Structure 1
Amino acid sequence: MVYAVVVAWLVVAAIVVLTWHRLDTDRGWRAFVLTLTLGLSLLHQLLFATVTEDALVTFRYAQNIADGNGPVFNPGERVEGYTNFSWLVLVALPRAAFGADVRTTAVVFGVLAALGCVLVSCFLANRIVAAAAPDGAQPRPAIGVAAAVLTASAGGLAVYGASGSEVPLFVLLVLATGYALAARRPVVAGVLVAFAVMTSPEGLVIGVLAGLWLVGAALKRKHSWWAPVGYVQGALVFLIPRLAWRATFYQHFLPAPLAAKLGGTLGERVAAGWPYLSGFALAHQGFLLLGLVAAVALVLRRTEPAVRGSRAAESPARGGTAAFRGTRAAEPPARGEAAAFRGARAAESPARGDAVVGTAVEAKALLWLLFAMAAGLAAAAVLIGGDPGPSWRLLAPLPPLLAVAAAGTYGVLTADAVGKPSPKPRAAGTLLVPVTACGLAGIAVLVSVFSPEMLDRVRVWHSHGTELAEIGGWLGDYLPPGSVVSAAAPGALAAHGGQLLIIDVLGRTDDHIAREGRHDGGIATDYDYVVNGRRPTVAVPADDGYADRQHCAIDPVYAGKYEVATFRRVGTPYWVSVYPRAEQAKALVADLDKGPDFRYVPCPA
């Protein structure tokens, strides 16, 4: 699969570079190249194709919704152990309506959302460039293709595309919000932001920045004040009922995973967040450098369009001649006098030059908004304290945002502000864009393959999840009905564990631990509550699957109330240790030893 992804990138890169000029004029050829880019994205996603622990927790909630138990992890326990409400509803509905498999539904929807990100990045870049282009300028849709190629190569989006998690949907909603603002649809943008917030807490950053951007546009009279008002209304019409239902059903406004994460001190979170961000920056230097160059170019060229626009407004004779020729070409001879009159009117009014300047200024403002979104999400990741999963899940939107912003910056800064098509640039200059985009895309693909935080770690992650799912299935089949199991990976154990009651010792699906436990380095724990309050039947101490040798020592937090029981995975050199409650240990070990895949081996005396 690695070779397939590299070959796909080489094919896309070669075609884009060799046919760059044709992409601007031939819609069919452009559609063909975008289809190839989508193919690259699909192969990139299939290279990883690993369902995450967080996704497995969501699947358990979705399954309980479909079974009539409501949005709960354990039947009867109202704990909001998820932060992706809209994604949960999306993957639960096909199961409830048609009996579709939740896991398959989530993976398919995730892949489609990631492919949607590739397309929306193309449309958004072109929309921004078109906003800066004056009337009569030639369209330049090839720039959007460059943004799409960069997005398809983004490693974080590929890792989580087929993961069953909400990440691809969140990235898609972020890009779609930018497109709605570029299309001057503030109400639609508000609705999209509401769904982004209900998909991931980081959506609040996007919502605030987009709202401030609209307020700034209203202050500068680029939008009416109805734009921010409509934006807020579009968001609140969904967010207020959601918050009201959350407070009524769960009795809390903050989900348990977020409460467990934010319970520590700010210093602890930042201390964990900075290495998280620096690791991302090291692996994504190409995207960050591209974004930095684009931002510097915007700063250096911020005054030139205004100068050219004012000159266009101060030259009525030249503007009248151009307008006269343009209208004469478009109008029948019989209407020549009317066309000349309209051309003269256009030349006499400096408002047209101001409009040209205004569109360029608005396009630049949209680019700055994309940069601000990327910076805001990076800051939020640091303040939250990062994330334990591979490939920097919290920062997955950054490469697509930077790709669109960089491609859009090139298009905006090279747009002709006078009102007519620019002269044909030299080949070397025009090929700089596709060569740079495809080169950075190749680097991103290679990083996703060779970075220790990406493919290698995802493969280890996959094996651990598979092993924990096997352990969960074994416990679910042979423990007495109604048994309670404590674990640090509740989603994986629940994947095949039936309706075992599972306690998350890290508090992500337990309100008491999340809100009242001890918080250390972004982790919430309360083992006294687990051992003496919840009294699990069996504890599974490991969150990384099988061990390569027998472990007979017991974790001190379980000592005295539990015993160690070690089992060998039949036909393999692997072991698993579980802690049955001391007073039930003999009967529980006998039950578990009935499983054909695991054989009890007593610890040496």
Structure 2
Amino acid sequence: MAVSLAHQMLFYTVTEDAFITYRYALNLAEGRGLVFNPGERVEGYSNFLWTVVVAIPQAIAGRGIMAVSIALGMACTVGCVVLAYLLTNRIVASAGSKSRAEVGRFGLLAAALTAVAGSLAAYASSGMESSLFTLLVLATCFAVFTDHHFTAGVLAALGTMTRPDGALVAVVVLGSLLAGRGDRVSRPRPVVLYTAGVLVLAVPWTVWRLLYYGHLLPNTLAAKSGGALGWQLSEGLKYFADFGLAHHGLLLVAVAGATVLALHGKAGPAASSKPARHAVWLLFTIAVAYTLFVVYVGGDYMAAWRFFAPVPPLLATATASATGIVLAGRATDRQDLEVRPTHQDAHRGLPLVTATLCLMSLLISVMAPRMAPLIHTGGRYTAALAEIGDWFHARLEPGTVISTVANGAISYNAGPEIVVVDALGLTDEHIGRQGTKDNPIHVAGHISNDWEYVVNERRPSLVIVTGRGYATSQPCAVDARYAGAFRHWVENGSYRTATFRRDGQQNWVVVYLRSDRFPDLRAALDGDPRFTYVPCPGQ
């Protein structure tokens, strides 16, 4: 647990996307509904349960959304460590091991590997739902193994309410129950109880979503789907290859553990451990199915392989449990573990294997370019975007419509009085569901756009297209990624470029102001002492 907390602090950063959740939570807590812009019912989030939970302190005390999201994320990550330990102990003990110390070694192996899982630790303090989702997946498996099938169904439903990916986990668990635990013929009671547990939450939640938003699938999924399948799979395979290269130690050990368990399952002494082996195969199956799903959707643009956060804890628990089952089975066969040197050596080698894998994982977290370095770079971008949002909040009139492609920190800090149009459609229903799917910025999950609609129907007074906050030089040209989509509106005179220098530093931000409002908007923005208007050459 201490290692997990220290590992989390290595990354300690709130991510840009978390602020989308924060804006929804703020509007919910202050009575405007579960909306991004007041009056616009668009399901532009994919983490309902997380959003509602982090809104509670704001509703009660008028503050605390960010603080509670960070604390809860870190607590859930430590909870994953504890649950990996408990679940592994239960599985190994049920396989025939009688020694408490012997069982605990495998639980500690699972806990240690979960504590150093980089993707999980990276998003513990991010303000996002990854840790809660992972905890719910492990808790579902724990409930299934301990025969609390109704509870397992409720937990699976909560997982789906935390992330839509949870539906995949729920289906895999249902399949395992239909297949039976291996120690007896499959009975209908577990399946019925589990299904009832899922439906008791999933049905009312789905009905409410249909009535409130009018769609079965969230707008976020609609906005992120519909691209070219070949490109999507290519991006997903690259995503997995990068993740696999950084986590090759854990993946190799997991493959070895699954292979040994499969071979051991053919031996006679394994018969008594069939329920335990069934639980391990469930963990492995969820990890593999989830990995294939992430590859299919094309991965994610964020650092540290966010989408893969549940996979290392699942593999760690499954591998540690598989090792314990095999050694316990062999020891039971001989009835005398103490006098068998090979088993003594195997148990004594566990700390060395654990320490080696943990050290590798921690080094990856520190040194891999896509881990802590990129997380902290993203944190700097987010801080800059938040400052720009504060600037808009202070200087723009309530009701002003703006458009942005980085729809988190700017939107939340600008405040709910500023109407924000997400040019990539995550929180805009028209763009998300009817926009063009041509992937203008070549980033997985950001493929929807419709600039004609943005400019001519939403008519934002201000457009900002940066996702990185400040530039280091005066940015007088339209961002090349949007040149074909937005430069036209600048060149035909609908919008004019306005560049501002941050507080005398060489940090710049460019905004595009609607031409008919250029003088008053420029003057309003220039009135903030933190930002100084500097015309581009020729203006």
Give me the TM-score of the superposition, normalised by structure 1: 0.83
Alignment of 1:11-410 (within 5 A): 38-133=1-96, 140-217=103-180, 221-304=184-267, 307-308=268-269, 357-358=271-272, 360-410=273-323
Residue by residue over 1:160-210, the C-alpha shift from the partner in whole angstroms, topping out at 9 and shown as x without a partner, is 001110000001011111111111111111111000111111111111110
Find the aligned partners of 1:287 and 1:201 in 2 and give their Cα distance.
26
Unpaired runs of at least 5, structure 1: 1-37, 310-356
Alignment partner of 2:474 out of 539, 550, 554: 550
2:413 counterpart SS class: coil
The separation in 2 between residues aligned to 1:288 and 1:594, in whole angstroms, is: 56
Given the alignment of the two structures, is residue 524 of structure 1 paired with residue 425 of structure 2, yes or no? no
Q: How many residues align?
A: 518
SS in 1 for 2:292: helix
The answer (yes or no) to whether the contact 1:61–1:71 under 8 Å persists in 2 is yes
Alpha carbons of structure 1 residues 487 and 439: separation in structure 2 relative to 1, 3 Å:
same
For 1:568, what is the secondary structure of its paired residue? strand
> Does the 8 Å CA contact 1:73/1:79 hold for their aligned counterparts?
yes
> Aligned runs of 1:439-518 on 2, under 5 Å?
439-499=356-416, 500-518=418-436
Q: Offset of 1:138 from its aligned partner?
A: 7.6
Letter of the structure 2 residue corresponding to residue 586 of structure 1: P
Code of the residue aligned with 2:515 in structure 1: it is: A
The question of 1:541 aligning with 2:458 is answered no
Q: 1:423 matched to which residue of 2? A: 338
Between the aligned residues of both structures, percent identity stands at: 41
Give distance in 1, aligned partners of 2:308 and 2:21: 20
Matches of 1:409 and 1:224 in 2, distance apart?
A: 25
Give yes or no for contact 1:137–1:422 (8 Å, CA) kept in 2.
no
TM-score by length of 2: 0.93
Match of 2:304, SS state, is: coil
- The CA deviation string for residues 328-374 of structure 1, in whole angstroms up to 9 with x for no partner, is xxxxxxxxxxxxxxxxxxxxxxxxxxxxx24x111111111111111
One-letter code of the match for 1:474?
W
Larger radius of gyration: 1
The one-letter amino acid of 1:519's match is K
The code of the aligned residue for 1:303 comes to: K
d(CA) in 2 for partners of 1:589, 1:421: 83
- Deviation, 1:265, is 3.3
Match of 1:580 in 2: 513
Q: Could you report, residue by residue, the CA deviation over 1:227-271 in whole angstroms, capped at 9, with x for unpaired residues?
A: 011111100100000100000000011111111111223223212
Which digits, 9 at most, give the CA deviation of each residue in 1:521-541, with x for residues without a partner?
441111111011101010011
Question: Which moves more between the two structures, 257-266 or 527-536?
Answer: 257-266
Aligned mates of 2:179, 2:101 — CA distance in 1: 30
**Aligned mates of 1:289, 1:383 — CA distance in 2:** 22
The match for 1:326 is none
Deviates more, 1:166-175 or 1:51-60: 51-60
Deviation at 1:135, TM superposition (A): 7.1
TM-aligned CA distance change 1:403 to 1:218, over 3 Å? closer
TM-fit CA distance, 1:53: 2.1
Q: CA deviation at 1:100?
A: 3.7
Q: After TM superposition, give the deviation of residue 94 of structure 1 in Å.
A: 2.1
Amino acid at match of 1:401: L
Compared CA separation, residues 585 and 363, structure 1 to 2 (3 A): same
Any gaps of 5 or more consecutive residues in structure 2? Answer: 440-444, 479-485
